[in-house]
Amino acid sequence: MKQDGFLDLEKVTEVAFQKEYNALRPLIEAEAQVQQQLARLDAQVQQTRRDSASAEGYRVTGTDVLWNGWESATRRQLNMELARLRAQKLTAMEALRTAFGRQQAVTNLSAAQKSARKHALNKKLSV
């Protein structure tokens, strides 16, 4: 293959790699956001437990049952969203690994061809 062909192939594999990387990045950001929401929910639960110990009306009015139901439903929804995002992230990471492997293979082939040409040229000049 001509050197121009390898240069074009290197550009194509770089674009493919960047495409896969750009597809993965929003998933990572969304995963971090859901994890932050879960952390905030945990902090709210801790704060509510501290506050409910001193508030007598909280249990009498049944607010504690409503709060626990909301917290449970919210946690379940966030965990399902996190699981969905992680599944998508795993798929995107596999595609990124494949694109990276192809990029590395083309880079290595191009370097090997350059080296072989240089070696052949040096051999031809020394004869």
The domain spanning residue 118 has which CATH number?
Answer: 1.10.287
Amino acid at 74: T
What are the angstrom distances between the C-alpha of 42 and each of 19, 58, 75, 79, 90? 36, 19, 9, 13, 26
CB under 8 Å to 64, separation ≥6 — which residues?
A: 52, 58
User: How many structural domains compose the chain?
Assistant: 1
Q: Give the DSSP letter of residue 61.
A: T
* Averaged pLDDT, 16-37: 96
* Global pTM value: 0.74
What pLDDT, in 10s, does the model give residues 72-125? 999 999 999 999 999 999 999 999 999 999 999 999 998 888 888 888 888 888
pLDDT of residue 3 exceeding 70, the answer is no
Domain of 101? 3-126
